[in-house]
Amino acid sequence: MRDGITDALGALAPHLRRTLTWDQGKELALHHQITANTGTRVYFCDAHSPWQARQQREHERFATRLLPKGTDLSNISPEELQRVADELNDRPRKTLGWARPAD
């Protein structure tokens, strides 16, 4: 996970990788290394504070429609994963007044 996130963040323009907010979970146990490698500060939602993780949970629900739970990601090409990431990142956000993050 650390290497995948580090690679993905490294491909972004610096102004797009200043921070990363993550829900609670062991996936980012090595978050200090991500920060050291990319300069991206990692923040975690407080436990039992679902309003902090709402946007992430909406992303997870949408991503699960594109890649059903239990999908073996090792069988999916990098191009397909990029297509899914692009689709997730091109969705309008209520928190942005229905603009897309790229806007």
Identify which has the larger pLDDT, 27 or 9. Answer: 9
Looking at residue 88, what is its pLDDT? 83
Mean per-residue pLDDT for 50-64? 75
Model pLDDT for residues 59-77, shown as the tens digit of each residue: 778 888 888 888 888 888 8
Identify which has the larger pLDDT, 96 or 55. Answer: 96
Question: Crossing angle for the helix pair 78-89 and 54-66, nearest 10 degrees?
Answer: 140
Using alpha carbons, select from 4, 2, 3 the residue that is nearest to residue 30. 2
Looking at residue 40, what is its pLDDT? 93
Q: What is the mean pLDDT of the chain?
A: 84
Q: Per-residue pLDDT for 95 more than 80?
A: no
87 CB-side CA count, 13 A: 13
- Residue 34: which pLDDT band, with cuts at 50, 70 and 90? very high
